Protein backbone atom coordinates (compact mmCIF):
# COMPACT_ATOMS: atom_id res chain seq x y z
CA UNK A 1 0.00 0.00 0.00
CA UNK A 2 1.45 3.37 -1.03
CA UNK A 3 1.43 6.34 1.31
CA UNK A 4 -1.03 9.18 0.83
CA UNK A 5 0.70 12.51 0.14
CA UNK A 6 -0.28 15.87 1.57
CA UNK A 7 1.41 19.19 0.80
CA UNK A 8 1.70 21.51 3.78
CA UNK A 9 2.92 25.07 4.23
CA UNK A 10 4.66 25.13 7.63
CA UNK A 11 5.40 28.39 9.39
CA UNK A 12 8.71 27.15 10.81
CA UNK A 13 11.18 24.39 9.92
CA UNK A 14 13.77 24.37 12.73
CA UNK A 15 12.68 23.01 16.12
CA UNK A 16 14.52 23.45 19.40
CA UNK A 17 16.63 20.43 20.40
CA UNK A 18 15.15 18.96 23.58
CA UNK A 19 15.14 15.68 25.51
CA UNK A 20 17.15 12.98 23.74
CA UNK A 21 18.34 15.66 21.29
CA UNK A 22 19.30 18.24 23.91
CA UNK A 23 22.88 18.06 22.63
CA UNK A 24 21.66 19.82 19.50
CA UNK A 25 20.37 23.34 19.20
CA UNK A 26 17.80 22.25 16.62
CA UNK A 27 16.10 19.31 14.92
CA UNK A 28 15.02 19.44 11.29
CA UNK A 29 12.38 17.27 9.61
CA UNK A 30 11.89 17.67 5.83
CA UNK A 31 8.71 15.59 6.03
CA UNK A 32 6.09 14.61 8.57
CA UNK A 33 5.33 10.90 8.48
CA UNK A 34 7.48 8.14 7.04
CA UNK A 35 6.58 5.54 4.42
CA UNK A 36 9.10 3.04 5.82
CA UNK A 37 6.57 2.54 8.64
CA UNK A 38 8.93 0.47 10.79
CA UNK A 39 7.04 -1.70 13.28
CA UNK A 40 9.03 -0.46 16.28
CA UNK A 41 9.04 3.25 15.44
CA UNK A 42 8.33 5.18 18.65
CA UNK A 43 6.96 8.12 16.62
CA UNK A 44 3.75 6.05 16.37
CA UNK A 45 3.17 6.96 20.01
CA UNK A 46 3.95 10.67 19.65
CA UNK A 47 1.35 13.42 19.10
CA UNK A 48 2.37 13.84 15.45
CA UNK A 49 0.97 10.35 14.85
CA UNK A 50 -1.60 9.87 17.60
CA UNK A 51 -3.67 12.88 16.61
CA UNK A 52 -3.60 12.09 12.94
CA UNK A 53 -6.09 10.05 10.93
CA UNK A 54 -4.48 7.11 9.15
CA UNK A 55 -1.98 4.51 10.27
CA UNK A 56 1.67 5.48 10.71
CA UNK A 57 3.51 4.80 7.46
CA UNK A 58 0.45 5.36 5.26
CA UNK A 59 0.64 9.16 5.02
CA UNK A 60 3.35 11.77 4.41
CA UNK A 61 3.28 15.54 4.66
CA UNK A 62 5.63 17.23 2.19
CA UNK A 63 6.79 20.59 3.55
CA UNK A 64 6.45 23.24 0.87
CA UNK A 65 8.92 26.13 1.01
CA UNK A 66 11.18 24.27 3.44
CA UNK A 67 14.39 25.64 1.94
CA UNK A 68 13.13 29.24 2.06
CA UNK A 69 12.18 28.83 5.72
CA UNK A 70 15.52 27.24 6.61
CA UNK A 71 17.46 30.01 4.93
CA UNK A 72 15.76 32.62 7.12
CA UNK A 73 15.73 30.61 10.34
CA UNK A 74 19.31 29.40 10.02
CA UNK A 75 20.58 32.93 9.48
CA UNK A 76 18.66 34.12 12.53
CA UNK A 77 19.80 31.19 14.71
CA UNK A 78 23.45 31.74 13.84
CA UNK A 79 23.31 35.30 15.20
CA UNK A 80 22.56 33.78 18.62
CA UNK A 81 25.46 31.31 18.74
CA UNK A 82 26.50 27.88 17.47
CA UNK A 83 23.94 25.94 15.47
CA UNK A 84 23.91 22.14 15.51
CA UNK A 85 21.18 20.27 13.63
CA UNK A 86 19.80 16.72 13.87
CA UNK A 87 18.07 15.64 10.66
CA UNK A 88 15.73 13.90 11.22
CA UNK A 89 14.12 13.16 14.58
CA UNK A 90 10.70 11.88 13.49
CA UNK A 91 11.00 10.93 9.83
CA UNK A 92 13.56 9.57 7.39
CA UNK A 93 14.91 12.43 5.27
CA UNK A 94 15.63 9.96 2.45
CA UNK A 95 12.39 7.98 2.37
CA UNK A 96 11.31 7.12 -1.21
CA UNK A 97 9.29 10.32 -1.85
CA UNK A 98 12.54 12.31 -1.53
CA UNK A 99 13.60 10.94 -4.92
CA UNK A 100 10.84 13.03 -6.50
CA UNK A 101 10.27 15.91 -4.07
CA UNK A 102 13.93 16.66 -3.20
CA UNK A 103 13.01 18.55 -0.03
CA UNK A 104 16.03 17.17 1.82
CA UNK A 105 18.34 18.06 -1.04
CA UNK A 106 16.98 21.62 -1.09
CA UNK A 107 17.76 21.92 2.65
CA UNK A 108 21.30 20.67 2.10
CA UNK A 109 21.77 23.25 -0.64
CA UNK A 110 20.88 25.96 1.87
CA UNK A 111 23.33 24.55 4.42
CA UNK A 112 26.14 24.35 1.88
CA UNK A 113 25.70 28.09 1.29
CA UNK A 114 25.39 28.88 5.01
CA UNK A 115 26.75 25.92 6.99
CA UNK A 116 25.65 25.10 10.54
CA UNK A 117 28.38 24.20 12.99
CA UNK A 118 27.37 20.55 12.72
CA UNK A 119 24.74 18.46 10.93
CA UNK A 120 23.87 14.84 11.68
CA UNK A 121 21.82 13.04 9.04
CA UNK A 122 20.00 9.99 10.39
CA UNK A 123 18.70 7.64 7.69
CA UNK A 124 18.36 4.02 6.62
CA UNK A 125 18.17 4.82 2.91
CA UNK A 126 20.77 4.36 0.17
CA UNK A 127 19.28 7.48 -1.47
CA UNK A 128 21.58 9.57 0.73
CA UNK A 129 24.41 8.74 -1.68
CA UNK A 130 22.67 10.86 -4.34
CA UNK A 131 23.72 13.94 -2.35
CA UNK A 132 27.41 13.10 -2.00
CA UNK A 133 28.25 16.23 -3.99
CA UNK A 134 26.64 18.43 -1.34
CA UNK A 135 27.82 16.41 1.66
CA UNK A 136 31.42 16.72 0.48
CA UNK A 137 31.11 20.49 0.59
CA UNK A 138 30.09 20.35 4.25
CA UNK A 139 33.34 18.49 4.99
CA UNK A 140 33.76 17.69 8.71
CA UNK A 141 30.60 19.59 9.64
CA UNK A 142 28.42 16.62 8.68
CA UNK A 143 28.06 13.00 9.76
CA UNK A 144 25.80 10.45 8.09
CA UNK A 145 24.39 7.96 10.60
CA UNK A 146 23.12 4.88 8.76
CA UNK A 147 20.68 2.69 10.66
CA UNK A 148 21.69 -0.97 10.43
CA UNK A 149 19.83 -2.73 13.22
CA UNK A 150 20.69 -6.29 12.20
CA UNK A 151 22.72 -8.30 9.71
CA UNK A 152 19.79 -10.60 8.92
CA UNK A 153 17.45 -10.01 6.00
CA UNK A 154 14.95 -12.37 7.62
CA UNK A 155 14.86 -10.17 10.72
CA UNK A 156 14.81 -6.99 8.64
CA UNK A 157 11.79 -8.22 6.65
CA UNK A 158 9.97 -9.24 9.84
CA UNK A 159 10.38 -5.92 11.66
CA UNK A 160 10.80 -3.41 8.81
CA UNK A 161 9.52 -4.94 5.55
CA UNK A 162 9.39 -1.58 3.73
CA UNK A 163 12.93 -0.56 4.68
CA UNK A 164 15.91 -0.94 2.28
CA UNK A 165 17.90 -4.20 2.32
CA UNK A 166 20.86 -4.42 4.69
CA UNK A 167 23.38 -5.03 1.91
CA UNK A 168 22.28 -1.85 0.12
CA UNK A 169 22.92 0.15 3.28
CA UNK A 170 26.38 -1.35 3.69
CA UNK A 171 27.19 -0.49 0.09
CA UNK A 172 26.04 3.08 0.74
CA UNK A 173 28.37 3.39 3.74
CA UNK A 174 31.18 2.20 1.49
CA UNK A 175 30.36 4.89 -1.10
CA UNK A 176 30.16 7.63 1.53
CA UNK A 177 33.47 6.61 3.11
CA UNK A 178 35.15 6.52 -0.31
CA UNK A 179 33.90 10.07 -0.88
CA UNK A 180 35.47 11.20 2.41
CA UNK A 181 32.17 11.77 4.23
CA UNK A 182 32.15 11.05 8.00
CA UNK A 183 29.82 8.14 8.76
CA UNK A 184 28.65 5.82 11.48
CA UNK A 185 26.54 2.68 11.70
CA UNK A 186 23.63 3.06 14.11
CA UNK A 187 22.49 -0.25 15.55
CA UNK A 188 19.36 1.45 16.73
CA UNK A 189 17.26 -0.12 17.93
CA UNK A 190 19.11 -3.40 18.42
CA UNK A 191 17.40 -6.24 16.57
CA UNK A 192 18.41 -9.91 16.68
CA UNK A 193 21.66 -10.45 14.80
CA UNK A 194 24.38 -13.04 14.23
CA UNK A 195 27.71 -13.48 16.00
CA UNK A 196 29.58 -12.07 13.01
CA UNK A 197 27.60 -8.80 12.78
CA UNK A 198 30.55 -6.68 14.02
CA UNK A 199 32.87 -8.26 11.46
CA UNK A 200 30.40 -7.45 8.68
CA UNK A 201 30.42 -3.76 9.64
CA UNK A 202 34.17 -3.49 10.23
CA UNK A 203 35.14 -2.84 6.56
CA UNK A 204 32.70 0.05 6.26
CA UNK A 205 32.84 2.21 9.41
CA UNK A 206 35.07 3.20 12.29
CA UNK A 207 32.24 4.54 14.44
CA UNK A 208 29.41 2.47 15.93
CA UNK A 209 26.38 3.68 17.86
CA UNK A 210 24.37 1.08 19.79
CA UNK A 211 20.93 1.92 21.15
CA UNK A 212 17.83 0.10 22.33
CA UNK A 213 14.17 0.79 22.99
CA UNK A 214 14.70 1.43 26.67
CA UNK A 215 17.25 4.23 26.31
CA UNK A 216 16.45 5.52 22.85
CA UNK A 217 12.68 5.99 22.50
CA UNK A 218 12.66 9.10 24.69
CA UNK A 219 10.39 7.57 27.33
CA UNK A 220 12.42 4.78 28.92
CA UNK A 221 10.77 2.23 26.69
CA UNK A 222 7.16 3.18 27.53
CA UNK A 223 6.30 4.23 23.98
CA UNK A 224 7.70 1.00 22.60
CA UNK A 225 5.76 -1.11 25.10
CA UNK A 226 2.53 0.59 24.02
CA UNK A 227 3.21 -0.46 20.44
CA UNK A 228 3.43 -4.08 21.59
CA UNK A 229 6.72 -4.70 19.85
CA UNK A 230 7.55 -7.57 22.21
CA UNK A 231 4.98 -9.64 20.28
CA UNK A 232 7.12 -9.35 17.15
CA UNK A 233 9.92 -11.11 19.03
CA UNK A 234 7.58 -13.79 20.34
CA UNK A 235 6.44 -14.58 16.80
CA UNK A 236 10.02 -15.68 16.04
CA UNK A 237 10.62 -17.24 19.48
CA UNK A 238 13.31 -14.62 20.08
CA UNK A 239 12.06 -13.21 23.37
CA UNK A 240 15.60 -13.33 24.79
CA UNK A 241 16.45 -10.47 22.41
CA UNK A 242 13.93 -8.13 24.03
CA UNK A 243 14.99 -6.37 27.21
CA UNK A 244 17.53 -3.90 28.67
CA UNK A 245 20.12 -6.69 29.03
CA UNK A 246 20.50 -7.02 25.25
CA UNK A 247 22.46 -3.78 24.87
CA UNK A 248 25.28 -5.01 27.10
CA UNK A 249 25.40 -8.34 25.27
CA UNK A 250 25.69 -6.65 21.87
CA UNK A 251 28.22 -4.10 23.18
CA UNK A 252 30.42 -6.93 24.43
CA UNK A 253 30.27 -8.56 21.02
CA UNK A 254 31.34 -5.35 19.29
CA UNK A 255 34.14 -4.58 21.73
CA UNK A 256 35.86 -7.72 20.50
CA UNK A 257 36.11 -6.26 16.99
CA UNK A 258 36.12 -2.46 17.37
CA UNK A 259 38.30 -0.32 19.66
CA UNK A 260 36.39 1.00 22.67
CA UNK A 261 36.78 4.60 21.49
CA UNK A 262 34.86 3.77 18.30
CA UNK A 263 31.77 2.45 20.11
CA UNK A 264 29.14 4.79 21.51
CA UNK A 265 26.01 3.96 23.46
CA UNK A 266 22.61 5.57 22.98
CA UNK A 267 22.48 9.37 23.23
CA UNK A 268 26.27 9.77 23.20
CA UNK A 269 26.41 8.17 19.75
CA UNK A 270 24.12 10.77 18.22
CA UNK A 271 25.71 13.83 19.82
CA UNK A 272 27.57 16.40 17.68
**Span 36-66, pLDDT tens digits:** 999 998 787 676 766 677 788 889 999 999 9
Could you give the CA distance from residue 121 to residue 65 in angstroms, rounded to a whole number? Answer: 20
209 in helix, strand or coil?
strand
Could you give the CA distance from residue 158 to residue 140 in angstroms, rounded to a whole number? Answer: 36
Tell how many helices (H) and how many strands (E) occur in the chain: 13, 11
> What is the residue-averaged pLDDT of the chain?
93
Helix (H) or strand (E) holding 246: helix 245-255
Between 127-131, 189-193, 220-224, the lowest mean confidence (pLDDT) is in 220-224
Q: Report, as an integer, the average pLDDT of 194-209.
A: 97
C-alpha to C-alpha distances, 261 to 130, 199, 207, 256, nearest whole angstrom: 30, 17, 8, 12
Amino acid sequence: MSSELFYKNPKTILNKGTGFLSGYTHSLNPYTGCSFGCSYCYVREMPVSLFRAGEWGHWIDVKNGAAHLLKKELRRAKTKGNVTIFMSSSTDPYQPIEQKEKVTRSLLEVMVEDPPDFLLIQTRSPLVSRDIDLLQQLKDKVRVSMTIETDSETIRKHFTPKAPPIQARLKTLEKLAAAGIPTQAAIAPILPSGDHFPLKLKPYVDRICIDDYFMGDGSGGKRTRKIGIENKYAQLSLEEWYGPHVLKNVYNRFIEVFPENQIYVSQAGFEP
